């Protein structure tokens, strides 16, 4: 004969409790059908809202790219040969870029537009406006994960230096260096060392120069760096 299996009260009670709980839940849903349907509808709308918002932002980004990129290309061409950029052409570019940035402020294209607006302002020696545009692009836009992260911070540093704010400039050059490697980082460190020297912080400036030589001993700027270090004493 097979071994008899003994069931305890607890064993027998367990399934009943589960069935009883399920039955109560089912009964509650029936009695509160309208409320349940409202909750389900709200949850579905919330989920739809999340996906709808993402789709909207993608549409906004694509729209901004289509409208802005032709003007960004024009700005790039103008800035590549600034000597031929007449005032009227620059005025038109600034007007168009500003309008599009205001229409699509939170897009990647707007970050590029602000970069060019900052560069045009720098070209015009309007260093306050230049710094404002670069800073706005940094603070309002997400990090691009591209060269633009470096360019914005270097542009800000150059505008601040040209404006005579060496302290803020040296900090901005240091931030730019953190977003670059190789010669671009050397370029940012050179700016930081230069502005530190302007501030009279010679030891810190010399430390930056030494860091450049350690990281990039074959830099074509080696001779210039050695001369600058000698002048620092």
* Residue 98 placed within a domain: yes
Q: What pLDDT shows up at residue 51?
A: 45
Does residue 227 have a pLDDT over 50? yes
**DSSP secondary-structure letter at 142?**
P
- Judge if 122 and 89 occupy the same domain: yes
Domain boundary among 123, 142, 161: 142
**Residue 179: pLDDT band by 50, 70, 90 thresholds?**
very high
**Residue 168: pLDDT band by 50, 70, 90 thresholds?**
very high
* Residue 179 placed within a domain: yes
Choice between 108 and 176, residue whose per-residue pLDDT is larger: 176
Least confident window among 29-43, 73-87, 140-154: 29-43
CATH at residue 199: 1.25.40.10
CATH at residue 84: 1.25.40
* Residue 230 placed within a domain: yes
Does residue 9 have a pLDDT over 50? no
- Containing domain of residue 59, as a range? 44-142
Structural domain count, the chain? 2
- Judge if 77 and 152 occupy the same domain: no
The whole model's pTM is what?
A: 0.69
CA pair distance 47, 50, nearest whole angstrom: 5
Given its phi and psi angles, is residue 213 left (phi above 0), alpha (psi -120 to 50 degrees) or beta?
alpha
- Judge if 98 and 175 occupy the same domain: no
Q: What pLDDT shows up at residue 59?
A: 45
Residue range 8-29: average pLDDT? 47
DSSP 181-212: -HHHHHHHHHHHHHHHHHTT-HHHHHHHHHHH
- Judge if 94 and 148 occupy the same domain: no
- Judge if 187 and 137 occupy the same domain: no
- Judge if 150 and 133 occupy the same domain: no
Residues in the chain: 233
- Judge if 104 and 135 occupy the same domain: yes
DSSP 67-135: HHHHHHHHHHHHHHSGGG--HHHHHHHHHHHHHHHHHSTTSHHHHHHHHHHHHHHHHTT-HHHHHHHHH
Does residue 84 have a pLDDT over 80? no
- Judge if 155 and 136 occupy the same domain: no
- Judge if 48 and 137 occupy the same domain: yes
* Residue 26 placed within a domain: no
- Judge if 207 and 160 occupy the same domain: yes
CA angle (224, 226, 228) in 5-degree steps: 70
* Residue 167 placed within a domain: yes
Domain boundary among 142, 166, 193: 142
- Judge if 113 and 151 occupy the same domain: no
Q: What pLDDT shows up at residue 87?
A: 80
* Residue 168 placed within a domain: yes
- Judge if 60 and 122 occupy the same domain: yes
Write phi, then psi, for 167 (nearest 5 degrees): -65, -50
Domain boundary among 142, 157, 184: 142
């Amino acid at each position: 004969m097979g071994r008899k299996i003994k069931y305890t009260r607890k064993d027998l009670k367990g399934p009943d409790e589960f069935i009883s709980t399920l039955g109560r839940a089912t009964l509650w849903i029936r009695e509160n059908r309208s409320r349940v349907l409202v909750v389900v509808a709200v949850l579905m709308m919330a989920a739809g809202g999340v996906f709808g918002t993402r789709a909207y932002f993608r549409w906004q980004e694509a729209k901004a790219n289509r409208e802005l990129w032709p003007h960004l290309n024009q700005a790039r061409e103008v800035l590549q040969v600034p000597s031929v950029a007449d005032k009227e052409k620059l005025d038109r570019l600034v007007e168009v870029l500003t309008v599009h940035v205001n229409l699509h402020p939170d897009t990647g294209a707007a970050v590029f537009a602000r970069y060019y607006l900052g560069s045009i302002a720098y070209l015009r020696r309007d260093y306050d406006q230049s710094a404002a545009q670069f800073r706005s692009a940094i603070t309002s836009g997400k990090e691009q994960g591209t060269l633009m992260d470096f360019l914005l911070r270097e542009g800000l540093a150059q505008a601040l230096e040209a404006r005579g704010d060496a302290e803020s400039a040296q900090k901005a050059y240091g931030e730019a260096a953190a977003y670059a490697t190789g010669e671009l980082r050397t370029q940012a460190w050179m700016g930081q060392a230069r502005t530190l020297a302007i501030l009279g912080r010679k030891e810190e400036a010399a430390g930056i120069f030494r860091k450049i030589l350690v990281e990039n001993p074959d830099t074509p700027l080696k001779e210039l760096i050695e001369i600058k270090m000698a002048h620092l004493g």
